[in-house]
Amino acid sequence: MKKYISIIFAVLIVISICCGCSLFGSDSNNGVLNIPGKGQKYYKRVVYKGDENSSITAKYQNNYLTVFDYIYDQSSSQSKNKSVLFDNKAKICFDGADDKLTNFYVNNDKIITSDDDSDNDTVKYYIMDINGSNKKEFFSGYNPLDYRDGFWLVSNNNQKCGIINENGEEVIPCKYDSMSLFDKKGYAIIYDSKEEKYGMIDKENNVVIPINYTYLVPFNANVNGYYSHLYLPNDITYDYTLVQTSGDEVYTIDRQGNKIFDVENSDYKSSSGTTTLTQNLLPVEKNSLYGFIDMQGNEVIPLKYNNIKWDFVNEYACVSIGGNYGIINAKGEEILPFEYSSIDPFDQNGLAVANREDSNNQLVIDLAGNIAYETSNSIEALGGGYFKESSNSGTEIIQITTDGGNYETYLPKEFTKD
């Protein structure tokens, strides 16, 4: 069980590093992946092409894809950069070369970037429209980390986190080492770095879940996870979650902090796969068979599988029978047969990287088992139908789409980093 909790904690650390003080991302709408028909046809778009000297970083977030390409020019001993923003239709909407931006991200349909002021040892943050217009300084003294429903999660110059409204007024004082935005039922996670413990507050800044836990999964657990860049927008907030104390007690609690089910001392053991805790179900093992229980300890999906690779990203889980993997839904119904040696989670467009023993290539498949794309190169899902494909000749950012219309991407400008 400690291994199980360690996986969850590692997930939280990844999110924390990516978002500064923000522990957890957020989405605003609910969504469900549709299963296409057999024979659905797909097309490949090359959105961005690097060369053998490129170092490309790409991230899909809030329906936009950011691509950063760092190239070191040995002849001039200069670092050349390209940075570009695409929408979910692979159309360019912002070229970072215009402002010589080597870092920016998107939130609330705005581009957020920063400028270092070395003379005053300060950083100023700016917000602009998706096309780069109407650039304005963010509220002075605050670093924007996340946004939802009219509220910004921010950190101040002392690296303490809080929440402000759209007028720049503090709703939650900037005094926490790290925190999240509020879930739909009004709870936010807070973190005390000295004690290395988590708790929760309400919208009046009252502590509603004591800061007693070495691990505390948010009640809207599906916005937290290693695969968060692949999630459909989803706003579900649950009434139960999972915690661990400094004494290694592991149990579920309700929104009042009451202990519900003692996981550590039950008959179940942890699943070794990637755990997201979506659907409010726990992947577990008993007598060498795997399945899912609810937060009260009741068996929901029978323990009949040989392994669980990942659980319920976009409402589907990857499980195995024998040595082969397949896909099930939250009712335990088989969606894809057990004929794959590996399947990664499906993204917002219902596509996933998979492997089969009868093929030496990597496959991009949909939930009907259609092969959308096949390659002998290394390929990684970015989200939104975008993939990063790498070979000895360089790296391409591609999009796999059902749109077969004519398409020509814009080549972003190159600029020399000052």
pLDDT tens column, 182-229? 999 999 999 999 999 999 999 999 999 999 999 898 998 765 567 888
**How sure is the predictor about 73, in pLDDT bands with cuts at 50, 70 and 90?**
confident
pLDDT band at 269 (very low <50, low <70, confident <90, very high): confident
pLDDT of residue 47: 93
Q: pLDDT at residue 164 above 90?
A: yes
pLDDT tens for 368-380 read 999 999 999 999 9
Q: CA 340, CA 355: separation in Å to the nearest integer?
A: 6
Rg of the Cα trace of the chain?
22
The Cα 82–Cα 332 span in angstroms is 46
Strands (E), 197-248: 197-201, 207-216, 240-245
Q: Which of 74-88, 186-200, 280-294, 319-333 has the lowest mean pLDDT?
A: 74-88
Sign of the alpha-carbon dihedral angle for 352, 357, 359, 360: positive
Quote the pLDDT of residue 224: 54
Three-state DSSP at 229 gives: helix
Residue 325 binned pLDDT confidence (cut-offs 50, 70, 90): very high
For residue 289, is pLDDT > 50?
Answer: yes
Q: pLDDT: is 410 or 192 the higher one?
A: 192
pLDDT at 5: 37
On the 0-12 / 13-18 / 19+ scale of CB atoms within 10 A, 294 is middle
Between CA 222 and CA 238 the distance in angstroms is 10
Residue 363, pLDDT score:
98
- Torsion, CA 388, CA 45, CA 224, CA 7, rounded to 10: -30
Question: 274 pLDDT exceeds 90?
Answer: no
CA distance 25 to 46: 29
Q: Of 120 and 341, which is predicted with more confidence?
A: 341
Query: Would you give the DSSP letter of residue 370?
Result: -
How sure is the predictor about 322, in pLDDT bands with cuts at 50, 70 and 90?
A: very high
Sheet architecture: strand order including 136-137: 105-107, 110-117, 122-129, 136-137
Reply yes or no on whether the pLDDT at 100 is more than 90.
Answer: no
119 or 12: which leads in pLDDT: 119
Query: What is the per-residue pLDDT for 146?
Result: 92
| pLDDT recorded at residue 345 | 95
Q: Which pTM value belongs to this model?
A: 0.88
Averaged pLDDT, 267-294: 88
Q: In whole angstroms, what is the distance from residue 384 CA to residue 401 CA? A: 10
Per-residue confidence (pLDDT) for residue 29, from 0 to 100: 43
* Average pLDDT taken over every residue of the chain: 88
Q: Give percent of the chain above pLDDT 90.
A: 66
CB atoms within 10 A of CB 256: 8
Q: Write down the pLDDT at residue 223.
A: 58
Q: For 2-39, how does the pLDDT look when each residue is reduced to its tens digit (9 = 90+)?
A: 443 333 333 333 333 334 454 544 333 455 799 999 99
What single string gives the DSSP state of each residue in 172-195? Answer: EEEEESEE----TTS-EEEEETTT
For the ranges 34-48, 62-76, 330-344, 369-383, which has the lowest average pLDDT? 62-76
Closest to 178 measured CA to CA, from 150, 159, 157: 159
CA distances 271 to 17, 31, 311, 352, 387, Å, are 25, 27, 10, 22, 28
DSSP state letter for 33: P
Task: Please tell me what DSSP assigns to residue 392.
Answer: T
* Phi, psi angles (nearest 5°) of residue 254: -95, -175
Residue 397 has pLDDT above 90, yes or no: yes
Could you give the CA distance from residue 146 to residue 190 in angstroms, rounded to a whole number?
Answer: 15
